Every structure is written in C-alpha cells, then in structure tokens.
Amino acid sequence: MNLNLKRLYHVCNPERACLDGNLPSLQWRIRCIDIRERQGAALLANDRAAGLIEFPSLSIPADLNEVDELTRTSAAISWVAVVTNAHLNDPEIGRIVRTRCVSYIRLPAAAEMVAQELDRAYEMSAGDGSEHTSANAGSVALIGACAAMSDVRAAIRNASEHERPVTFIGESGSGKTLAASSIHRGSSRREGPFVSIDCAAFAPERVETELFGESGGEEIRVEEGNQRSRLSMAEGGSLYIDGICELPLSGQQRLADMLDTGARNVRIICSTHIDLQRAADEHRLHARLFSRLSPDTITIPPLRERGPDIRLLATHLLKSFRSDSRHGVQGFSVCAWEAFDAHTWPGNLQEMINRIRHAIVASDGTLITAVDLGFDQTASVPMMSASGDDDDIPEWDAVELAIARNQGRLDAAATELHISRVLLARMLASDSRRSVATPGELRMDSA
Ligand SMILES: Nc1ncnc2c1ncn2[C@@H]1O[C@H](COP(=O)(O)OP(=O)(O)OP(=O)(O)O)[C@@H](O)[C@H]1O
C-alpha cells in the first residue's frame, strides 16, 4: 500500500455526483462523504487533507446547513467548491464558497484543472501543524516562478560571478534589498560582511559622512562615538547603497572615483526606484557614476505584474508567519484570493507581508478573509474561478432528444451534443427536468 497517498474528502450526494471521471485517481486516497448521511459530525484531519464539495449534486437549499456546519467544524481541511454560475449567484452558497473554501471550480472543468486545484488546496492544508514555522521573511530566498523573476534570478547568479557594481531598479518593497543580499550570498565574498546604507534615511549633509567617514581623515570615524563608516565596515564584503540618487552629487563623485581606482576591497551594489538614464538627465545621478552603474542593472518587477507569483508568495508568507495565529489559521478564503488579484500592491512585498501578518492576528477563523487583510469590502470584486468559460449550453429539447436517441447513455449523448459529459450531468442534476437522467450512471465510488 502506498502510504504517501494524499487524502481527499469528496462531499456530495453520491447518487447525483458527476465528477467521478474527473477526479485524480493516482496519488490520492478519496473518501466519499455522503451529505445525506452526515449528522453534524466533524471530519478530523490529523494529516493534511483537501476537500471537494460538489454543489451540483446537492439538494439546495436543504443540504446547505450541513455543508455550512461541515466546513465550519472541519476547517483544517482545505475545501474546494465545485459550482455552476447559478450557484455563485446564490447568496448562501456564495458565502460558504467565499469564506470557507480556498478556491472553487466552475463546471465544466477538465480533469487536469481539477487535479491542479486539488493539489494546490492540499499544499495549503496544514494537518496537525507540525510544519508551522516562524521564519523571518528577510532570511528567505527570493521566491517567484514567473518569467520576470526567473530573469531576475538568472541576472543575480550572473552578478554573483563578477565584481562590477550592480544596480537594482524597482519600486519600494519589491525586493531590492533581498536581491542585493542574494548577490552577496552567492558571491566569493559570502564570508565577508554585507553592509547596507539607506541614503534617504539621512539628512543630505550627513549621509556622505556616514558612508565614507570624516572627509580628509582616515575615513574611519564618522562621529565622536567611534562609529565606523559603512565603507570600512563592508571591507572584504559587499556594501548595498539603497537610494543611490539620494546621495548628494559630491558623494556620488567620490563613489565614482573609488570605483575608478578600485581603492577599496568592497563590492558595491546600489538601488533606486527611478530609471538611471532619467536620473542622469535630471542631474540626480552624477555623469561618471552613471557610466559606471548603467552597464549592470537589474529591474525588479512590481508585485502587481507577477501574475500567479502573488498567490505563491502569499502562501509562502502565510506558512512563515502562521504560528503567530491564535486560531490556527490554515489558509486564505476565496474572497481573500480575489482581493489579492484585484489589488495593485503599491507597497509590493512589504505591503503583502504587513497585510498577512495583520490578518493572522486579526482573523477569528481558520481562513483569512479579505476583511482580515484590510481590504475594504469584498462585494465589488468579481468572482473568478479556476475554470474557463462554460461550454455552449444546448437547448433542453436537444438534450432530451440526444438522451433518448442514445438510450440514456450520457457519454454518447454528450458527444452528440458537443458538450462535456460533466456539463450534461450537471444540467441533468440541477434542472427540474432531471427525471430524464439515469442516476445510476452518475454514481461516485467511494474509496
Ligand atoms: N521574492 C521574494 N520572496 C520572498 N520574500 C521577499 C521577496 N521579495 C521581497 N521579499 C521580502 O519583502 C520584504 C521587502 O523586501 P525588500 O526590503 O528587499 O524591498 P526593497 O525593494 O529593498 O524595499 P525598499 O525600496 O523600501 O528598501 C522583505 O522582508 C523581503 O525579505
């Protein structure tokens, strides 16, 4: 027996369930939960588990109380709803889907898509919580799977192999400091110090001294208190100069001199949120420093342009911080995902971290909602599902004819109607004329 099977609870009315052909059979141990036989008992998920609620097979509204109770009491399971458009417009189903489920699948849905959604839900489930960590996000690797972040990682790897100054360009909170430290950690200087200075944090007359030390002297002491300059602290390692355009031009000139002569054993990494050419044109970047920095720049994309990485990062951050939760937060609800996707993230990763940390403490359930995350409301956000648009739905007369012509065989009828068998089964299950259906053919085997 394969002990590594993933647990899936399939909640449905087995007589009307239509997903049997579309559930992943490999790697999963599926248990069918007959909604008619449940009497309020919670499902205990000591291990990780995903759950699938097949709404089209249920009696609506009769079964909704049971589903509400089940998802409330079995919140350790990552629930995925299977719905039709009509279900999404039902206020009670909409509430359950938005606040208790981590995602939903709109019928018709391809088997691969169902498997993908269940995998994702399973990854989010926490089981007994043994994998909870309280990692500091500042110490984590640069997370991201989108093409732009793959390019960034490749550029970082490349920059780790040479000693030329590198400049990161990106919005506030997008990950420039983390990327700079990644270069240092990947370079031959990794055993040396990684020192940073935020030029915007000092008054213009102060920042140069902080960076280089007292002018004219040994460039060691920056003030009476024996404090060393950042350059001397970074000796043998890397110096990250955050906000290079905020360094006064005289300081930029000194930095260009230093790079020209190679006088210090310090690798220079800079960052700015504006384009270098523009900064030079506007005389915010010294011409000589511009020619030193411009050959090696790496642009960090804003979070709003990273597509699916937004969910990847949110999931990662939640795992990092959820041990702070009083209620054993397990994941995000559908409305939270929708809010994530709709938001423009002006504060980028830093904003996401702040929102998730706040939500973990604020949440009084096991799923974080849009409101927990500090988003105003959820109603205006359009519902989005993992599945694509519906097939063209055939007229009822055509459905009845096709079923009659094929002696009740749904596969053959669906082929004739040019729709998926799932859609046909769903139409039969959800319409009052479903007496034409042959329920026996739609049975879901329990495992
Ligand atoms: N791709 C990523 N994966 C994981 N964590 C990230 C990623 N990018 C940024 N972070 C985290 O987000 C936070 C903000 O990132 P960081 O400080 O590097 O941004 P920044 O661009 O330097 O911000 P600022 O311009 O305000 O200095 C940090 O805690 C960092 O560890």
Question: Could you tell me the distance, in angstroms and rounded to a whole number, from the CA of residue 4 to the centre of ligand 1?
Answer: 35
158 lines ligand 1 (CB under 6 A): no
Q: Which of 31-40, 244-253, 307-316 has the lowest mean pLDDT?
A: 31-40
CA dist 120 and 329 (Å) reads 17
Question: Could you tell me the distance, in angstroms and rounded to a whole number, from the CA of residue 84 to the centre of ligand 1?
Answer: 39
Mean pLDDT of the 307-323 span: 87
291 has pLDDT over 90: yes
- Which atom of ligand 1 lies at the shortest distance from residue 180's CA? 18
Tens-place pLDDT, residues 23-42: 877 788 888 888 888 665 56
User: Average per-residue pLDDT in the chain?
Assistant: 79
Amino acid at 130: S
Q: Ligand 1 pocket test: which of 350, 351, 355 has the largest number of ligand atoms within 8 Å of its C-beta? A: 350
302 lines ligand 1 (CB under 6 A): no
178 lines ligand 1 (CB under 6 A): yes
Q: Report CA-CA distances (Å) from 209 to 40, 218, 236, 269, 344.
A: 69, 12, 20, 19, 38
413 lines ligand 1 (CB under 6 A): no
Q: What pLDDT score does 58 carry? A: 93
173 lines ligand 1 (CB under 6 A): yes
242 lines ligand 1 (CB under 6 A): yes
CA 357: distance to chain centroid? 15
Q: Ligand 1 pocket test: which of 152, 177, 273 has the largest number of ligand atoms within 8 Å of its C-beta? A: 177
Query: Which residues, at least 6 apart from 179, have a Cβ–Cβ distance to it below 8 Å?
Result: 142, 152, 156, 168, 298, 300
Question: Could you tell me the distance, in angstroms and rounded to a whole number, from the CA of residue 274 to the centre of ligand 1?
Answer: 17
CA dist 228 and 209 (Å) reads 10
pLDDT band at residue 395, thresholds of 50, 70 and 90?
low
| Range of 74-78, 174-178, 413-417 with top mean pLDDT | 174-178
Question: Could you tell me the distance, in angstroms and rounded to a whole number, from the CA of residue 158 to the centre of ligand 1?
Answer: 20
Question: Could you tell me the distance, in angstroms and rounded to a whole number, from the CA of residue 178 to the centre of ligand 1?
Answer: 5
- Which atom of ligand 1 lies at the shortest distance from residue 242's CA? 27
Q: Ligand 1 pocket test: which of 317, 349, 353 has the largest number of ligand atoms within 8 Å of its C-beta? A: 349
Q: List 82's β-bridge partners, or say none.
A: 54, 105
ipTM above 0.95, yes or no: yes
Question: Could you tell me the distance, in angstroms and rounded to a whole number, from the CA of residue 317 to the centre of ligand 1?
Answer: 12
330 has pLDDT over 90: no
Helix (H, G, I), strand (E, B) or coil at 157: helix
Q: What pLDDT score does 149 carry? A: 92
- Residue 38 CB burial class (10 angstroms; 0-12, 13-18, ≥19): middle
234 has pLDDT over 50: yes
Q: What pLDDT score does 345 carry? A: 93
- Which atom of ligand 1 lies at the shortest distance from residue 139's CA? 31
121 has pLDDT over 70: yes
Helix (H, G, I), strand (E, B) or coil at 48: coil
Closest protein CA for atom 16 of ligand 1 = 175
195 has pLDDT over 50: yes
User: What is the full DSSP assignment across 361-427?
Assistant: HH--SSEE-TTTTT-S-STTSPP--SS-PPPPPPPHHHHHHHHHHTTT-HHHHHHHHTS-HHHHHHH
349 lines ligand 1 (CB under 6 A): yes
More confident residue, 333 or 446: 333
Mean pLDDT of the 126-147 span: 51
Q: What pLDDT score does 292 carry? A: 96
Q: What pLDDT score does 264 carry? A: 92
Query: Which residues, at least 6 apart from 146, have a Cβ–Cβ distance to it below 8 Å?
Result: 301, 306, 307, 308, 309
On whether the CB atoms of residues 172 and 235 are closer than 8 A, the answer is no
406 lines ligand 1 (CB under 6 A): no
Closest CA to 70 of 42, 37, 98, 99: 42
DSSP 3-state percent helix, strand, coil across the chain (nearest 5) = 45, 15, 45
64 lines ligand 1 (CB under 6 A): no
145 lines ligand 1 (CB under 6 A): no
pLDDT band at residue 445, thresholds of 50, 70 and 90?
very low
Closest protein CA for atom 18 of ligand 1 = 175
181 lines ligand 1 (CB under 6 A): no
Mean pLDDT of the 138-144 span: 65
Question: Could you tell me the distance, in angstroms and rounded to a whole number, from the CA of residue 192 to the centre of ligand 1?
Answer: 22
Tens-place pLDDT, residues 369-387: 999 999 975 443 333 334 4
Tens-place pLDDT, residues 270-287: 999 999 999 999 999 999
Q: How many residues are there in the chain?
A: 447
Show the tokens assigned to 362: 């604020």
The total of other beta-carbon atoms located within 10 Å of residue 397's CB is 8
Closest protein CA for atom 13 of ligand 1 = 350
Q: What pLDDT score does 240 carry? A: 95
pLDDT band at residue 407, thresholds of 50, 70 and 90?
low
User: What is the full DSSP assignment across 174-243?
Assistant: SSHHHHHHHHHHHSTTTTS-EEEEEGGGS-HHHHHHHHH-STTTTS-BSSTT-PBPHHHHTTTSEEEEES
pLDDT band at residue 259, thresholds of 50, 70 and 90?
very high
Q: Which of 14-23, 151-160, 316-325, 391-400 has the lowest mean pLDDT?
A: 391-400
CA dist 213 and 292 (Å) reads 22
85 has pLDDT over 60: yes
More confident residue, 358 or 134: 358
138 lines ligand 1 (CB under 6 A): yes
Domains of the chain, each with CATH number or no CATH:
6-135+328-368 (3.40.50.2300), 147-299 (3.40.50.300), 396-442 (no CATH)
174 lines ligand 1 (CB under 6 A): yes
437 has pLDDT over 50: no
